């Protein structure tokens, strides 16, 4: 776990309310103790918490919460009671206790639990289950926008129905919905305080941002692209070289965590610009973030009055040609200074470009 990320998130989460739905199977499992210790840690840093026990009984969850020294109290009514139980839960949370309530029914995203989260203005709805998390091509889906979730896009995913249910909860006003394996020790803290997380987060579009690189970001950027530099997929860069052209760099952030980068190098005298340093962290590939960054710098170049944009790559030929629709070009079209740098590098890179009109 990244200590810097933890320290940055603590003030952000303080005072926010999380609803944690605990599936019936987990209520009787030993792993629940680890989850409750995580709950206690979150409560200690000021997160307001509501625990929803699947089914009709809160007694076992309340007992085990007491064993873990969680400051908790149970709402006596089931969620089916509507407004009175919402008021009772609010009362418990207001007095700085963890509220425990029974869902009164089965299912991870039952109407009562979701309605409670919406009524309370929850920042997160967290589903602790024991059936694993959604995967695509054998790889866990760490984060996905709710707008990207549909029957068609989830056809090749495991737990597709759960993923679509989570997206629907987002559409009802909950910004972040997490699907977690409750048998994973420390799952809540690992999910919330690490960059990639250990489960699946479905989020609203406001979760991501493309912004200008700051000088404070440079060490993180260098660390992020180091693997591709070693693999000769990206040209080596130094702190000084990036700082010198700081205004050319942009980063893609998820909840203020940098997961990708791109650069726009202008060649004003030639009426063109170069798209460079395109990189997305491995665990975030396949979600359209790279495409979004390319379209962003294209728009920036268009706004600056450039007629066309080009990219140079030896490892992303198919991406630029087939995915982005860039045409493969001769090196002769490059600005003289850029062509000289490419030839001096000895790299067998191809040139791609497109008009911005």
pLDDT at 230 over 50: no
Whether 259 and 279 have beta carbons less than 8 Å apart is answered as: no
pLDDT for res 69:
94
Place 287 in a pLDDT band, splitting at 50, 70 and 90.
confident
Least confident stretch, 10-14, 40-44, 151-155: 10-14
Q: What's the rounded mean pLDDT across residues 50-73?
A: 95
Q: Give whichever of 207-211, 215-219, 234-238 has the largest mean pLDDT.
A: 215-219
Report pLDDT digits (tens) over 210-221: 999 999 999 988
Q: Tokens at residue 295, please?
A: 């379209």
Overall fold of domain 209-355: Aminopeptidase (3.40.630)
**216 CB-side CA count, 13 A:** 2
Nearest to 108 by CA among 161, 144, 50, 154: 161
Token digits for 10?
């603590």
Greatest mean pLDDT among 91-105, 227-241, 272-286, 303-317 lies in: 91-105
**Partners of residue 236 on adjacent β-strands:** none
Share of the chain above pLDDT 70, in %: 94
Give the model's confidence band at 131: pLDDT under 50 very low, under 70 low, under 90 confident, else very high: confident
What is the pLDDT, as a whole number, of residue 307? 93
Reported as type and span, the H/E element at residue 3 is: helix 3-13
Cβ(313)–Cβ(262) under 8 Å? no
Closest CA to 268 of 299, 235, 312, 301: 301
Q: What pLDDT, on a 0 to 100 scale, did the predictor assign at position 4?
A: 56
Classify residue 348 by its DSSP letter: -
The angle subtended at Cα 156 by Cα 153 and Cα 162, nearest 5°, is 75
* Residue ranges covered by each domain of the chain: 3-203, 209-355
| pLDDT > 80? residue 146 | yes
Identify the band that residue 6 occupies on the pLDDT scale cut at 50, 70 and 90.
low
Q: What pLDDT shows up at residue 195? A: 64
pLDDT, residue 201, reads: 92
Beta bridge mates, 354: 309
Q: Give the mean pLDDT of 10-32.
A: 91
pLDDT at 229 over 70: no
Q: Is the pTM of this model over 0.85?
A: no
- Residue 193 in tokens: 């305080």
Average pLDDT, the chain: 90
CA–CA separation, 335 and 270 (whole Å): 6
Q: Is a pLDDT exceeding 60 seen at residue 231?
A: no
Domain covering 3-203: architecture: 3-Layer(aba) Sandwich (3.40)
Q: Is the pLDDT of residue 39 over 70?
A: yes
Name 169's Cβ contacts closer than 8 Å, sequence gap at least 6: 109, 114, 117, 125, 177, 202
3-state secondary structure of 138: coil
What is the DSSP secondary structure assignment for residue 33, as one 8-state letter? H
């Amino acid at each position: 776990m990244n200590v810097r990320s933890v320290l940055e998130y603590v003030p952000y989460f303080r005072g926010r309310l999380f609803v944690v739905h605990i599936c019936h199977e987990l209520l009787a499992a030993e792993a629940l103790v680890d989850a409750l210790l995580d709950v206690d840690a979150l409560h200690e840093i000021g997160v307001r918490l509501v625990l929803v026990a699947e089914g009709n009984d809160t007694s076992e969850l309340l007992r085990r919460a007491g064993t873990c020294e969680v400051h908790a109290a149970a709402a006596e009514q089931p969620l089916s009671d509507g407004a009175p139980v919402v008021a009772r839960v609010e009362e418990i949370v207001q007095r700085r206790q963890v509220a425990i309530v029974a869902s009164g029914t089965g299912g991870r995203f039952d109407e009562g639990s979701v309605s409670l989260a919406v009524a309370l203005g929850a920042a997160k709805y967290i589903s602790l289950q024991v059936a694993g998390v959604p995967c695509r091509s054998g790889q866990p889906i760490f984060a996905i926008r709710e707008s990207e979730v549909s029957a068609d896009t989830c056809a090749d995913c495991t737990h597709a129905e759960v993923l679509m249910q989570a997206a629907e909860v987002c559409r009802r006003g909950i910004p972040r919905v997490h699907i977690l394996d409750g048998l994973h020790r420390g799952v809540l803290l690992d999910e919330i305080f690490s960059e990639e997380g250990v489960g699946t987060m479905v989020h609203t579009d406001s979760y991501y941002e493309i912004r200008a690189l700051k000088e404070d970001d440079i060490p993180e950027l260098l660390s992020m692209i180091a693997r591709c530099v070693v693999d000769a997929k990206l040209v080596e860069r130094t702190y000084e070289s990036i700082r010198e052209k700081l205004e050319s760099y942009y980063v893609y952030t998820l909840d203020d965590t940098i997961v990708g980068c791109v650069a726009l190098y202008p060649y004003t005298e030639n009426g063109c610009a170069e798209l460079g340093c395109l990189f997305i962290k491995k665990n975030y590939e396949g979600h359209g973030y790279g495409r979004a960054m390319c379209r962003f710098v294209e728009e920036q170049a268009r706004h600056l009055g450039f007629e066309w944009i080009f990219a140079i790559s030896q490892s992303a030929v198919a991406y630029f040609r087939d995915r982005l629709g860039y045409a493969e070009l001769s090196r002769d079209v490059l600005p003289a200074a850029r062509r000289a740098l490419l030839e001096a590098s000895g790299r067998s890179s191809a040139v791609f470009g497109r008009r911005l009109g």
